Amino acid sequence: MTAMASSHPHTHPHGSLLDLAPVLPVVVLQDASDAVPLARALVAGGLPAIEVTLRTPVALDAIRAIAGEVPDAVVGAGTVITPAQVRDAVAARARFLVSPGWTDVLLQAMRESGVPFLPGVSTASEVVALLERGVTEMKFFPAEAAGGTAYLASLAGPLPQARFCPTGGIGAADTPEYLSLPNVGCVGGTWMLPADALAARDWGRVEALAREASRLGAATAA
């Protein structure tokens, strides 16, 4: 999976973003100078796909720094909710886009960006609407609050063509159950980025937690 991530920097918009890595770290950065060492720790731990959320003023600078200095990382932008953010993220060299929800205006901007994207859904109707529009890969958010593994398992029967990256409230203990579902390609989470480790800039601990997280996917695949 890492090889795919590294060898296809311009993955087609309908390529399989969900197969880059079993776990997608969701990063909220307060200091752009932390971006590169954090990304290096995640990559070293086996998690090359990294979602940097646009929730903080330094997010675009962080994406730009990771894209420029951590070649083995596949860095994307999360919490993308406007066409302007789509343009800014791609200009900062984000290689994928993730939104908590979607509208036709946002979906069109993400399509036109030329990079893979995961629009967010939390109901069957939203999934059907995206399938109508030719989108089969999406983010399920907020995963635990919206019904968790039971909800996703229920969608697999009537809507088997939809594949998901569930994110929101998921921890290491929940991840194997999510990854065992036929319609889940990867899981987004923050548990490998504990606040105290980030505050202390303890990149060794982040790398160790990332390595444990990457093994959750390997165990499920086996």
198 sits in which H/E element: helix 195-199
- Cβ(54)–Cβ(66) below 8 Å: no
Is residue 177 annotated as a catalytic residue, yes or no? no
Partnered with residue 164 across adjacent β-strands are 138, 184
Of 139, 144, 177, 212, the catalytic one is 139
Instruction: Round the CA-based radius of gyration of the chain to a whole number and report it.
Output: 16
For the chain, strand residue ranges (E) read: 23-27, 49-53, 74-78, 97-98, 117-118, 120-121, 137-140, 163-166, 187-189
- Sheet (strand 120-121) strand order: 120-121, 137-140, 163-166
Is residue 139 annotated as a catalytic residue, yes or no? yes
Catalytically active residues are 51, 139
